[in-house]
Amino acid sequence: MSAERQIILDTETTGLEVGDGHRVIEIGCVELKNRRVTSNNFHHYLNPERAIDAGALDVHGISAEFLADKPRFADVAGSLLDYLRGAELVIHNAAFDVGFIDMELERAGLGLRLGQICSIVDTVAMARRLHPGQRASLDALCKRYGIDNSNRELHGALLDARLLADVYLAMTGGQATLGLDREAGVGTQAAASALGQLQSLFEGPAAPLRVIRAGEEELAAHRERLAGINKKAGKLLWNGEDGPAAL
């Protein structure tokens, strides 16, 4: 398997349980080559030939009416396998998506599983290793790494795959070891830059302090100002030259 080509994959489904006969209704893939996002996406809406659970509809907003004229999974399975073959798959909660796609491949009579043609990376497991005890949802990771997900009102396979590509690149970019709390939405690169600037203040030889002494005119003006304060207040505690003044 070549890690130079990675595919960020996401699906939407008619429901949560593949064992209950739920089907894939959208598949979205974003390609990375040498850690750069390309324009070579793979995206299809699919007719599941069954009803969509109300709970699933609330999540993704994809209706059975919208999918009625879309291709079936079997119609796009060959082109999907050609697109994925030999790549490293990056999937958020991989067991869910892989389980559904393997089921669809079996239904299509292809006798293949994703793990036979691709290596698979689960970004949920990766996030839990990097940030133990923290939330590992895609929204939480977008917030942690400063990735704008303001357009994600509903889930969508291609949109979520694109967001996950940014999250994955941030998680594997070498900055996560800083241990900074990004729950406030501070971006990884911005946090690293700020830390670098702070460190630079304390590194290297200290520059000698420059001492600028007051001239005679400035000293005379200072004495005149102190005399005025003393005359008005009568409580000057320090005369500025000879130490404490008499009360």
Q: Hey, what are 227's tokens?
A: 């005399």
Which residues are known to be catalytic?
155
DSSP codes joined into one string, the chain: --TTEEEEEEEEESSS-GGGT--EEEEEEEEEETTEE-S--EEEE---SS---HHHHHHH---HHHHTTSPPHHHHHHHHHHHHTTSEEEETTHHHHHHHHHHHHHHTT----HHHH-EEEEHHHHHHHHSTTS--SHHHHHHHTT---TT-SS--HHHHHHHHHHHHHHHTTT-GGG----TT---HHHHHHHHHHHHHTTSSPPPPPPP----HHHHHHHHHHHHHHHHHHS---B-SSSSBPP-
Region 109-125: mean pLDDT is 95
The reported pLDDT for the residue numbered 220 is 79
CA distance 202 to 198: 7
Range name among 11-20, 162-171, 214-223 with the lowest pLDDT average = 214-223
- Tens digits of per-residue pLDDT, 51-89? 999 999 988 989 999 999 999 999 999 999 999 999 999
In tens, the pLDDT along 146-191 reads 999 887 766 789 999 999 999 999 999 854 333 333 333 444 444 4
- Between residues 216 and 127, which one has the greater pLDDT? 127
Read off the pLDDT band of 221 (50, 70, 90): confident
Overall pTM > 0.75: no
pLDDT at res. 227:
74
